[in-house]
Amino acid sequence: MNLELRHLKVVCAIAETGSVTKAASLLGLAQPALTAQLQRIERTLGGPLFERDRRGARPTALGELVLSRARVLLPAMKGLQDEAARLAGSGPDTAMSRYRIGAIGGPVVGGMVTRLSAAQPDAQISTHASYYVDELAAMTLAGKLDFAQVGICGDAIPAAEHGLVWQTIAMDGVCVLMPEDHPQAKGMEVDLAELSELVWTGGPGGGCFGDCFAAACARAGFAPKQVLETDIRCAIDMVESGMAVMLAQPSFRPPAGLVTLPMKGAPLRWRQMLGWHPESTAAQVAPRLVTMAREAYLEASARNPLYIEWLEDYPQLGVEQLATV
């Protein structure tokens, strides 16, 4: 067997995780398959690369030698591939054969995938869901994702230490999901100050959004009576039962009997963003993905004509205010 770069990646994964089992999970392989591959690598190199016991896997002297070379070769090869891609590329419309997109949730990523699939039927497209911006940003920085589609509170931006480029897709006015027959669901918007006695529910994550919500309530003259954190399906069940109300994106399609109403004065805003590593191959196609994300947002928002009408009084919201940060 000839030693290949993929074999070096296996050795590095085992060393980084300290476990064949964890490395298999990281690489998306079955543990027996990775063990067999490691054994073939060790036969090729002439000796064991790891000492393995109940405490995990630790590199042998031979393993340390292989790792020292692998940690030079792998980044060098990645740099060569990136440079070659940039040189061979024809500009921002250059296509990739694989797209790995992480997202917090919402209709934007679905619309992006639909458009990308139509434009490149042969492309491999995978998605990863997370409630947390930092997790998606870290995965993008590490090269495990090509793009991160996230939402953040108001004027905040994702943490700068991730070193990613972030493009604003749109700025939403946050809405309230409530039953259609709720006493406060009388017009095309609700006043946050009039919801002081209600119980709130919602999903986890959102970064500073919980603090932003508490601050908005304080400006409206009250503190939230109770906030119940749960999964989204359970939160919707609570709203349907009349037990609670919840914050929602305007593009959210409510079940029958519920309505998504914007809040008067837009006291809470939600910035939809797309991020990527500036030195990755993904950077070449990023303008096209941003356009797809923007189109997906417009399509999803159009499903809520009440919100579109409401936006006429809030020109600072929507897709007009695009900026790179």
**DSSP string over 114-175:** HHHHHH-TTSEEEEEE-S-HHHHHHHHHTTS-SEEEEEEETT----GGG--EEEEEEEEEPE
The strand pair at 226-229 and 56-59 is best described as: unpaired
Looking at residue 54, what is its pLDDT? 84
Residues of the chain with CATH 3.40.190.10: 98-170+270-311, 173-269
Say if residues 274 and 169 touch (Cβ distance below 8 Å): yes
Task: Give the model confidence (pLDDT) of 114-141 as tens digits.
Answer: 999 999 998 999 999 888 888 898 899 8
Residue 89, pLDDT > 60, answer: no
CATH class of 173-269: alpha beta
CATH 1.10.10.10 fits 5-88, yes or no: yes
DSSP secondary structure code for residue 49 in this structure? S
Architecture of domain 98-170+270-311: 3-Layer(aba) Sandwich (3.40)
Q: Tell me the pLDDT band of 152, cut-offs 50, 70 and 90.
A: confident
Whole-number percent of the chain with pLDDT over 90: 36
Whole-number percent of the chain with pLDDT over 70: 89
Say if residues 81 and 267 touch (Cβ distance below 8 Å): no
Q: In terms of pTM, does the model score above 0.95?
A: no
Task: Give the model confidence (pLDDT) of 297-316 as tens digits.
Answer: 888 888 888 888 888 888 88
Residue 88, pLDDT > 80, answer: no
Residues of the chain with CATH 1.10.10.10: 5-88
Residue 166, pLDDT > 60, answer: yes
Categorise residue 38: left if φ over 0, alpha if ψ from -120 to 50, beta otherwise: alpha
